């Protein structure tokens, strides 16, 4: 699986830690069907579903995110609470990636993205998922 922390997501993280940035009150999990480059922003996503009940799913910052470390690999993970997407009124096109943003529209920041199993939701179908973001400290 390929996970990407996007440039604007990394910048936001550094601003929160070392600058005057503030933590968002919520994150939004979205779906798409394209490989997103590290320099991409929300406006660059061309294959996010629209209509038929699709919307980015909200997760509370802080309480909706847990942090853990895989001791074997040295990777730190942020795991977001499970969200459910439901197709309503028609089918959605296939999606193969999930992403985390700071807004329900394109006004926010693209934090990270990663592969998911390819899915197509028919009318009335549901998809439950948990978003992950990982950072690895490179070996010396």
pLDDT in tens, 18-65: 998 888 999 999 999 999 999 999 999 999 999 999 999 999 988 888
Which residue stretches of 36-115 are H helix?
none
What's the confidence (pLDDT) of residue 96?
95
Contact criterion met (CB below 8 Å) for 98 and 34: no
pLDDT surpassing 50 at residue 140: no
- What distances in angstroms separate CA 85 from CA 19, 43, 95, 122, 126, one per listed residue? 35, 21, 12, 11, 6
pLDDT surpassing 80 at residue 1: no
The better pLDDT of the pair 133, 20 is held by 20
Cα(99)–Cα(122) distance, rounded to whole angstroms?
21
- Phi, psi for residue 62 in degrees, rounded to 5: 85, -75
Contact criterion met (CB below 8 Å) for 33 and 96: yes
The better pLDDT of the pair 58, 1 is held by 58
Q: For 60-117, how does the pLDDT look when each residue is reduced to its tens digit (9 = 90+)?
A: 988 888 888 887 877 777 888 899 999 999 999 999 999 999 999 999 999 999 898 8
The better pLDDT of the pair 137, 19 is held by 19
For the four alpha carbons of 8, 106, 86 and 26, in that order, the dihedral sign comes to positive
Residue 136: pLDDT band by 50, 70, 90 thresholds? low
pLDDT surpassing 70 at residue 139: no
pTM for the model stands at 0.89
Name, in order, each residue with C-beta under 8 angstroms of 117's C-beta and a sequence gap of 6 or more: 96
Can you name the residues that pair with 67 across neighbouring β-strands?
78
């Amino acid at each position: 699986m390929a996970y990407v922390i996007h440039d604007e997501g990394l910048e936001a993280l550094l601003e929160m830690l070392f600058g005057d940035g503030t933590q968002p009150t919520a994150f939004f999990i979205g779906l798409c069907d394209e490989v997103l480059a590290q320099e991409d922003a929300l406006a660059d996503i061309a294959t996010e579903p629209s209509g038929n009940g699709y919307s980015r799913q909200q997760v509370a910052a802080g309480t909706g995110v847990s942090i853990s470390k895989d001791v074997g690999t040295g990777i730190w993970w942020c795991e977001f609470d499970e969200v459910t997407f439901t197709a309503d009124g028609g089918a959605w096109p296939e999606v193969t990636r999930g992403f985390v943003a700071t807004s329900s529209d394109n006004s926010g920041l693209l934090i990270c993205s990663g592969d998911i199993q390819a899915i197509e939701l028919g009318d009335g179908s549901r998809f439950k998922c948990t978003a992950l973001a990982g950072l690895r400290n490179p070996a010396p």
